[in-house]
Amino acid sequence: MYKGIIFLEDVKQSTRQNVLNFVKNWNSKIEYISVNTSGSTGKPKQIKILKSRMKASAKATLNFFELKPNQTILMTLSAEYIAGKMLIVRAIENNMTLIVAPLCSNPLLKPLGHKIHFSAFVPLQVQTILANKISKANYELIDQVIIGGGVINQDLEKNILTLPNSNFATFGMTETISHIALRNISNGEKHYTALPDVNFKINATNCLLINAPLISPIIDLETTDVIELLNSKQFIWKGRADFVINSGGIKLHPELLEKKIEHLFPNNRFYFTSNKDHLFGERLILKIETNSQYNIHKLKNKLEMILPKLEQPKTIELINKFRETKTGKVIRS
């Protein structure tokens, strides 16, 4: 039985139990693990993943980051989802110490009491951590960090570039057992590079196809991620095909539009979506999360200066609180 777990004092009992339950399941004779998908692009579902494939995924990450036995992993993600489960697997398979922190937006407000060699966060956590002097100092002491589960905006990337530690953006999904490609933010990289034994292709609509035989049983696993394929090992991510809006025959990629205007919303979450329109087919909508009043007229003037006419939202909606998945991703609706 793996005994290298240290729970920090503020960790809830439910979180402790989820971690211990996973360790028990991992050490059982059952050959697979049941995993919940996040539901960020559809209805959440449960899938079964062979432990042998999870071990292969863990080995690839451990080798890439040159992690050694007896080093320390910090866990700030839920054990109910693949990213959290894989942190535990890496610790077990490499005989590393696992430090379990509270599941919250800023788990680094107190000294951790241990040297941390590796950890994983979602973008919202990193943004919250870096906004606080104490937690930022603790974050900088972590040797290597992977960040996934959402889009990393340009302001956050700029902040990360000033940090002394190594930070990587991840690309992956539950079906690929966490990440299968990494982008070195600290080195200013814009492209993702595949882990060993992973190769890429594109289909007719420029969506990514993943070939990872040690991790996924599906040859050329099809995604809805629109990419620019540089070679069989590298790509630049453009957006999601399932978010594409067809307005009057013009295909609009919300993520690309959001990058153009994100500097207008330093303190607010926002996204582009659409509704049905008898004339245009789909009508572009900008939704902004805010509890205060917005000068819509002033905002429209700014948008007109940045976006071409066909990319300007037909409607702007103010929302008190966006709906989220259990993993904290905004549900676009």
For position 39, what pLDDT does the model report?
Answer: 53
Give the start-to-end residue ranges of the domains of the chain. 5-197, 244-319
What pLDDT score was predicted for residue 41? 47
The β-bridge partners of 199 are: 211
Q: Residue-wise over 249-282: b if at least 16 C-beta within 10 A, else e?
A: eeebbbbebbeebbeebeeebbbbbbeeeeebeb
pLDDT in tens, the chain (333 residues): 678 999 999 999 999 999 999 999 999 999 999 987 765 445 567 889 999 999 999 999 999 999 999 999 999 999 988 999 999 999 999 999 999 999 999 999 999 999 999 999 998 899 999 999 999 999 999 999 999 988 888 889 999 999 999 999 999 988 899 999 999 999 999 999 999 999 999 999 999 999 999 998 888 999 989 999 999 999 999 988 888 888 877 888 898 899 999 999 998 999 999 998 866 788 999 999 998 888 899 999 999 999 998 899 999 999 999 998 877 788 887
- Report pTM: 0.82
**Half-sphere exposure for 129 (CA within 13 Å, toward CB):** 29
Chain Cα centroid distance, residue 230: 22
> Per CATH, which fold does 5-197 belong to?
Rossmann fold (3.40.50)
Q: How far is CA 313 from CA 48, 181, 269, in A?
A: 41, 33, 16
How many Å separate Cα 144 from the centre of its chain?
16
Same topology between domain 5-197 and domain 244-319: no
Q: What is the CATH number of domain 244-319?
A: 3.30.300.30
Selection from 191, 203, 199 nearest residue 230 by Cα: 191
* DSSP track, 143-195: SEEEE-SS---HHHHHHHHT-SSEEEEEEEEGGGTEEEEEEEGGGT--SEEEP
Tokens for 317, please give them.
Answer: 């909606």
